[in-house]
Structure 1
Amino acid sequence: MAAKKQAKVTQDFSKYVRWFWITFVGGILFVILLFLLASWGVFGEMPDHTVLENPKTNLATEIISSDGKTLGKFYLNDNRTPVSYEELPQNLIDALLATEDARFHEHSGIDAFGTLRAIVKLGGGGGASTISQQLAKQLFHGEGSKNKIGRMTQKIKEWIIAIRLERQYTKEEIIAQYCNIYDFGNNADGIRSASRIYFGKEPKDLALKESALLVGMFKNSSLYNPRPNKNPVGSKNRRNVVLAQMEKYDYITEEVKDSLQKTELDLNYSPESHREGIATYFRTYLDGFMKDWIKNNPKPDGTKWNLYNDGLKVYTTIDSRMQLYAENAVQEHMARLQAEFFKQNTPKRNSTAPFLDLSTEEINTLLKNAMKQSERWRKLKYDLGKSNKEIEASFYKAIPMSIFAWRNGKATEIDTIMKPIDSIRYYKTFLRTGMMAMEPQTGHVKAWVGGINYRHFQYDMVKQGKRQVGSTFKPFVYSAAIDQLHYSPCDVFPDTPFCIEANKYGNPEDWCPKNSGGDYGGTRTLKDALANSVNTITARLMDKVGPQPVIDLVKKLGVESNIPAVPSIALGTPDLSVYEMVGAYAAFANKGVYTKPVMVTTIEDKNGTVLYQFKPETRDVLGEETAYVTVKLLEGVTQYGSGARLRRTGPPDQFYKDIITGYPYGFTNPIAGKTGTTQNQSDGWFMGMVPNLVTGVWVGAEDRSVHFRSILYGQGASMALPIWGVFMKSCYEDKTLDVSTANFEPPKNLSINVDCSKGDGNYVNGENSGKTPDDLNF
């Protein structure tokens, strides 16, 4: 009986053992089946070998300066520029491993210990997802499912992909990919963008506590956003957790941990958007350049390049240092100039402020035209289908808005409530500017500032905008006369009233220009006449050469704008751009050779394959002697003419606040230049040259009826020249730049006298020219 009972117990026990093994083996087979089904794509598409080798990520196009700095990027959603493992600082790698995957170098994609711990603790112990698994999730299937079955199948897919990634890539490559793929928020896609946006530096330059902050954001970048208006306290706490993990795994000492945990975040938040950062106007020009290039240059397979996703690298001629100095010079001077304009043009002093010389009816017409050209009008009409009456009515209803303002010498925004029509009038009060600097020998554009603030004034006054150039046009007339008639800067002309009779050059009536201030009398050398912008002598030269040869000359110098063949162009009536003027003046400094301005040198794909290489466009326009003589004429402007204030010296407090005398620049090196002022002081210009840098500056308002009342403030020497002076002073103080202080190089066989101290020029009287009488003193 006992034997039977024992046999039955044994039989029952063996049954349990059998069921245990059936369940165990079945479970293993089931897990294997799940993995097989997942790998076959039953639970959703799985990446194959080719996709794993080239995972699809959107890469921003990077804009690179001539000195190797990133000026900005083109992107839609992903502001991502990848870096290699070697470009990551060791402290960031240590922080990542200590926090995210301490056994990263010991597993092959799945951390068995961490997974088992997560199962035992029902997910409460952490450590289940390795860096490889997180990369798999980021690369191939994003956010998790909300139901349990979905989460389970997704986790299986993560494991499979992680193992495949480990086979496909080295550990170092996996770390680099993970850092490059992660979204750190605020358009900071990838570690490079995050480093630049949150700390204003490249990843390799990150300090330990900065790396710890960024690694802390891997947990949840939305929650641990360090910006002051987001969650700086939570971010700091999370950073300190990372530091504690680094101490736990012996990457740092306890003393270092304790010291760093007490420090502040010390952000240097530098947003990278299309409307912020450095060289915004230039980047807008470049956007159009790239779209034109893409239109005409397909990929090898015939498809189009994507400016925002294909990771192109655009190497430009812009020098980030010069660009920054140019933008700072604009900010510094324009804030002061605007303050003076507001002081002079108050509603109390001018009932039609900011407009001058316009009736109320003319002002209303101007404002209505501006209303119809506004972005608000376009959106309401074409996007929302509103009627003209409804749209116009909306301009007279106050709404919240942020407006531009100068505060303490800096550009800022003010939140206010204002009628859109009043905002239009408000923005009309602001003076604008355009500035471009170029290397004349190569045509490389080094700095490009199209306005005072791109967010609020998007119209580019370097290439898009064209305004009357005033007396900066006169050197073209002088150059044509030198070229045709072999004049010397020392030749003497009578400074008396002069007219070009009607119909001589197609002008319908006599043209009799007056000198500024109405001053006449005596004689002047050409050098003195140009230095002081004497209109009558310029008219005499125009009469001798004719308008068409002058137009032919400026066309050869790269000017594409229409110029009428009338004598009055001698005084600068044509509307030209800063871009055209700088390109044309550069030929004088380049020995008569015109070099077309260059902005882009090379375009590469993400693998470094060169897709575009610029070819310089040059042509001989003037003889070397004519170009040099013109330069010597222009040197007179800064020696004793309207540009002489560039050589002013003195203590800063004596001149700094005086916009009339200008800053104490104290330049002693040779400078060729020309100021320009248009009718009613609407436009102020300065063109300045040293042997290897030509820079043009324009200042004025959007409407020509907005200007200074007096020429004292409204002339080019007060409006534009100071920007050039501040810019050049910064360039000279930067010893890493090679901006010349040397003399302009004369031609080897100079036959025209340029040294007027010898007093041996010719006297040119009316229609004839001849030798100066022996007793003539000049």
Structure 2
Amino acid sequence: MAKKKQPEKSQSFGKYIRWFWILFLTGIIAAILLFVSASVLGDLPDHTVLENPKTNLATEIISSDGKTLGKFYFNDNRTPVDYEALPQHLVDALIATEDARFHQHSGIDGRGTLRAIVKMGKGGGASTISQQLAKQLFHGEGSKNIVERIGQKIKEWIIAIRLERQYTKEEIIAQYFNIYDFLNNADGIKSAASIYFNKQPNELDLKESAMLVGMFKNSALYNPRTNVEGVTNRRNVVLAQMQKYGYITERVKDSLQQTDLGLNYTPESHREGIATYFREYLKKFMKDWIKNNPKADGTNYNLYSDGLKVYTTIDSRMQQYAEDAVHDHMKNLQREFDHQNTPDRNPTAPFLGLDKEEVDGLLKRSMSQSERWRKMKYDLKKTNEEIIASFDVAIPMSVFSWEGEIDTIMKPIDSMRYYKKFLHPGMMSMDPETGHVKAWVGGMNYRHFQYDHVKQGKRQVGSTFKPFVYATAIDQLHLSPCDEFPDVPYCIEEGRWGNLKDWCPENSGLTYGGTRTLKGALANSVNTITAQLMDKVGPAHVIDMAHKLGVTTEIPEVPSIALGTVDLSVFEMVAAYATFANQGVYTEPVMVTSIEDKNNTILYQFTPKTKDVLSEEVAYVTVKLLEGVTQGGSGTRLRTQGAEKWNKMYQEIMTGYPYELKNPIAGKTGTTQNQSDGWFMGMVPNLVTGVWVGAEDRAVHFKSITYGQGASMALPIWGSYMKSCYGDEDLDISTAEFEAPEELTIKVDCYDDASSSENDDKTPNVDVPSDLDF
């Protein structure tokens, strides 16, 4: 029998009855919440706690172009954002999925609560966004005991009401997004957007927002890395809810539900991401700053939980171009090095010039300096014999390769030999006027190689030291790039300038005879003419010049420093060369512009530190000398392919070649004895960049100068980097001439004088290794 339809009036009356009970019971619940004793429910957060919830906030490292480079944190990788930074569809997705009547209630949804009570929770949860925030902020998941759960729920209601009284709806939503743990170190919406999609929150699109909101149900279950199908289904539920409540159309919902998640997983950890070596340097900088800058109450800031914001000079775009240039070239260079150092070609590979006993001794020294040795000796209290024996026991390990990490089983001693073969880079880029460091690449993979070759590492600088000698001679003797010197063998006698024996440097790949201008001599790295200049001014004056230019390393007072026998860092060399580009004014490199606390109060602002080192004229003349290197010396390959015989090598190892840079460039290559170190220092008016390449041990190097010189090992990184920088017009890297002083008394243009012997100095074929120093 068909059920008899109820009269319309009866249905309306039943509706009023339901609403009566809803309002009545809501009133009862509200009264309980308002008057129930805190002594019964336990401690409840007061006004102060609600205003300042105890959440750990990571220190954020911010680039000069406003990007997050990384963070310092222990457990919580959390950086809060304001409501205005959240896209509207992200907010809509949250409300549609978690609390459709969010804007109609004051912390408790009476209708939803009654539904949950009547249906015993089977019809869906009753927690509002405010209640969920209360749980996240103040008491977590709670107990499974029914009595405790009821008490906890009442606490949750009370806190939710207080939250609604103290915060706007927008602030509650922002807090909820900021407090949630999205897994994989993604604490809060800012970290989640960055880690899962490599975006800022305001850059998220609709389907990305839906995925992140879907994770609120249970991020441990809906983990995008391990449960793609489940996360996709949950995202589609969120999209359906958005369509149900009118935030999107059915057509948009159906279209987006057919797409994949579109993850761009970008992990944020201390050993991964961009500018890792710089971030490690910055950690020490910050710890020193914190030690000397306590809070108003006398306590120290916590680098990992106080939510500091560190504004740096690093440009994220230039940093990425630098890392890409290093990665691409080093991968190709390493492949060629491995090809030349197979066991068949070199029985002591990767070492050259050592016998087996010397190699064994080197490995033993490295063994005693290793972290494994330190831990076993001092933490585990093992004897030396036990430690040495452990190096011959194969263990599982993950090792670096340019094709990706390799999981293998290897003896630690074999892994040490394996790692010795790798060539390493160091690179830094700086604005010479402001001192702002724009890019810092201390190595090729911080996870496997923590040693920083920008500031920690110091290696022989080779011919890149020669401009210090030339600048001293120009400053003291008023020499011109066009001045000529005899191209003959030259010795500095025993006892002169304190040297213990005669010093007679030789030239590499060049014949003697005639004369050379200073411009041609520096372009072709003529050692004997550099020695003549050193003899005229003396080592003490050259050392004084280097120190004024920003070199802090102690330099021995001997003539041989003219050819770069001293070990210096990339950091020191870039700062020194920047003085030439900055018209003789040394500007101390700057890495941090300001520091703010979590409330955006400025705690620190840097003050530029500069000093006059050279006259504008001497600096400009030195730059013109260095321009000769890229016009007629080992740096000419920045502009042309050179001889045909080089084409194959360029294609194999020189990423981005031909560079075809046509603007004025000043620079200098450098190569040390046995090709252990390759350097290139390159300058344009508003950017100075230094690159070093070499192995950990100097006995690991190319056998041939063809691949082992600075023009092959280091210069290609500079060329590729600058090509990318010039391709990004927003960076505004200069293509102009270096600015000349108003009054120039020293002749710099050597080509307009018919009597000049400059033609004798024309660039040798680029396959002539002209920058090797002995």
The TM-score with structure 2 as length reference comes to 0.92
1:354 and 2:354 matched: no
How do 1:606-617 and structure 2 match up within 5 A? Answer: 606-617=598-609
196, 203, 223: which one aligns with 1:205? 203
CA distance in 2, matches of 1:56, 1:406: 43
C-alpha distance 242-523 of structure 1, shift in aligned 2 (>3 A)? same
141, 144, 147: which one aligns with 1:143? 141
Which residue in 2 is equivalent to 1:253?
249
1:698 match: secondary structure: strand
CA distance in 2, matches of 1:576, 1:655: 29
C-alpha distance 354-462 of structure 1, shift in aligned 2 (>3 A)? same
CA distance in 1, matches of 2:30, 2:751: 99
Q: CA deviation at 1:374?
A: 2.0
CA distance in 1, matches of 2:106, 2:27: 20
* One-letter amino acid of the structure 2 residue matched with residue 639 of structure 1: Q
1:621 and 2:617 matched: no
* One-letter amino acid of the structure 2 residue matched with residue 223 of structure 1: L
1:618-650: CA deviation from partner (whole Å, max 9, x where unpaired)? 100111111111001000000010101111159
C-alpha distance 674-751 of structure 1, shift in aligned 2 (>3 A)? same
1:431–1:700 Cα contact (<8 Å) kept: yes
CA distance in 2, matches of 1:204, 1:219: 22
CA distance in 1, matches of 2:209, 2:725: 34
C-alpha distance 662-318 of structure 1, shift in aligned 2 (>3 A)? closer
1:752 match: secondary structure: coil
Q: CA deviation at 1:371?
A: 1.9
RMSD, aligned α-carbons? 2.1
C-alpha distance 351-512 of structure 1, shift in aligned 2 (>3 A)? same
* One-letter amino acid of the structure 1 residue matched with residue 737 of structure 2: N
687, 692, 696: which one aligns with 1:693? 687
37, 46, 49: which one aligns with 1:48? 46
2:689 match: secondary structure: strand
Which residue in 2 is equivalent to 1:98?
96
356, 360, 364: which one aligns with 1:364? 360
1:421-464: CA deviation from partner (whole Å, max 9, x where unpaired)? 11111111000010000000111100000001111111000000
2:325–2:655 Cα contact (<8 Å) kept: no
Which residue in 1 is equivalent to 2:260?
264
C-alpha distance 247-88 of structure 1, shift in aligned 2 (>3 A)? same
1:579 and 2:577 matched: no
CA distance in 2, matches of 1:496, 1:41: 97
735, 738, 744: which one aligns with 1:741? 735
401, 425, 439: which one aligns with 2:431? 439
Q: CA deviation at 1:199?
A: 0.7
CA distance in 1, matches of 2:120, 2:520: 90
* One-letter amino acid of the structure 2 residue matched with residue 142 of structure 1: G
1:449-490: CA deviation from partner (whole Å, max 9, x where unpaired)? 000111111100000000000000000000000000011000
728, 745, 753: which one aligns with 1:751? 745
Q: CA deviation at 1:582?
A: 0.3
1:139-171: CA deviation from partner (whole Å, max 9, x where unpaired)? 011121121121111111101100000001011
Gaps of 5+ in 1: 1-24, 764-778
* One-letter amino acid of the structure 1 residue matched with residue 45 of structure 2: P
CA distance in 2, matches of 1:155, 1:584: 66
C-alpha distance 702-103 of structure 1, shift in aligned 2 (>3 A)? same
* One-letter amino acid of the structure 2 residue matched with residue 739 of structure 1: I
How do 1:397-412 and structure 2 match up within 5 A? Answer: 397-407=393-403, 412=404
Q: CA deviation at 1:92?
A: 0.9
How do 1:632-671 and structure 2 match up within 5 A? Answer: 632-648=624-640, 656-659=650-653, 663-671=657-665
CA distance in 1, matches of 2:552, 2:90: 53
1:501 and 2:497 matched: no
* One-letter amino acid of the structure 2 residue matched with residue 103 of structure 1: R
1:158 match: secondary structure: helix
Q: CA deviation at 1:391?
A: 2.3
Q: CA deviation at 1:376?
A: 2.2
CA distance in 2, matches of 1:36, 1:386: 65
1:705 and 2:703 matched: no
C-alpha distance 31-113 of structure 1, shift in aligned 2 (>3 A)? closer
Which residue in 2 is equivalent to 1:569?
561
* One-letter amino acid of the structure 1 residue matched with residue 152 of structure 2: Q
* One-letter amino acid of the structure 2 residue matched with residue 643 of structure 1: G
CA distance in 2, matches of 1:427, 1:140: 49
1:361 match: secondary structure: helix
1:100–1:127 Cα contact (<8 Å) kept: no
1:480–1:550 Cα contact (<8 Å) kept: yes
How do 1:459-474 and structure 2 match up within 5 A? Answer: 459-474=451-466
Q: CA deviation at 1:372?
A: 2.3
Q: CA deviation at 1:33?
A: 6.8
C-alpha distance 334-108 of structure 1, shift in aligned 2 (>3 A)? same
* One-letter amino acid of the structure 1 residue matched with residue 262 of structure 2: D
Q: CA deviation at 1:387?
A: 2.9
Which residue in 2 is equivalent to 1:484?
476
Identity of aligned residues (%): 75
1:329–1:723 Cα contact (<8 Å) kept: yes
CA distance in 1, matches of 2:593, 2:755: 46
Gaps of 5+ in 2: 1-23, 758-774
1:490–1:760 Cα contact (<8 Å) kept: no
* One-letter amino acid of the structure 2 residue matched with residue 293 of structure 1: W
348, 353, 369: which one aligns with 1:373? 369
Q: CA deviation at 1:365?
A: 1.8
Comparing 553-562 with 143-152, which one deviates more in the overlay? 143-152
Comparing 741-750 with 365-374, which one deviates more in the overlay? 365-374
Q: CA deviation at 1:660?
A: 7.5
1:673 and 2:667 matched: yes
Which residue in 1 is equivalent to 2:586?
594
Which residue in 2 is equivalent to 1:723?
717
CA distance in 2, matches of 1:29, 1:515: 97
1:736 match: secondary structure: helix
1:65-101: CA deviation from partner (whole Å, max 9, x where unpaired)? 1111111111111111111111111111111111111
CA distance in 1, matches of 2:175, 2:429: 40
1:318 and 2:314 matched: yes
Which residue in 2 is equivalent to 1:772?
none
1:165 match: secondary structure: helix
Displaced runs of 4 or more, over 6 A: 27-35, 650-655, 760-763
* One-letter amino acid of the structure 2 residue matched with residue 180 of structure 1: N
Which residue in 1 is equivalent to 2:168?
170
* One-letter amino acid of the structure 2 residue matched with residue 122 of structure 1: M
CA distance in 2, matches of 1:495, 1:323: 43
Comparing 540-549 with 137-146, which one deviates more in the overlay? 137-146
Q: CA deviation at 1:45?
A: 1.9
2:651 match: secondary structure: coil
CA distance in 2, matches of 1:251, 1:626: 68
1:505 match: secondary structure: helix
* One-letter amino acid of the structure 1 residue matched with residue 684 of structure 2: V
237, 242, 246: which one aligns with 1:241? 237
C-alpha distance 528-734 of structure 1, shift in aligned 2 (>3 A)? same
Which residue in 2 is equivalent to 1:7?
none
105, 108, 111: which one aligns with 1:110? 108
* One-letter amino acid of the structure 2 residue matched with residue 456 of structure 1: H
CA distance in 2, matches of 1:49, 1:683: 63
C-alpha distance 308-360 of structure 1, shift in aligned 2 (>3 A)? same
* One-letter amino acid of the structure 1 residue matched with residue 221 of structure 2: L
Computing the radius of gyration over CA atoms, which structure comes out larger, 1 or 2?
Answer: 1
Which residue in 2 is equivalent to 1:277?
273
1:473–1:572 Cα contact (<8 Å) kept: yes
The TM-score with structure 1 as length reference comes to 0.91
1:275–1:455 Cα contact (<8 Å) kept: yes
CA distance in 2, matches of 1:69, 1:656: 35
* One-letter amino acid of the structure 2 residue matched with residue 713 of structure 1: Y
Which residue in 1 is equivalent to 2:20?
none
Q: CA deviation at 1:246?
A: 1.2
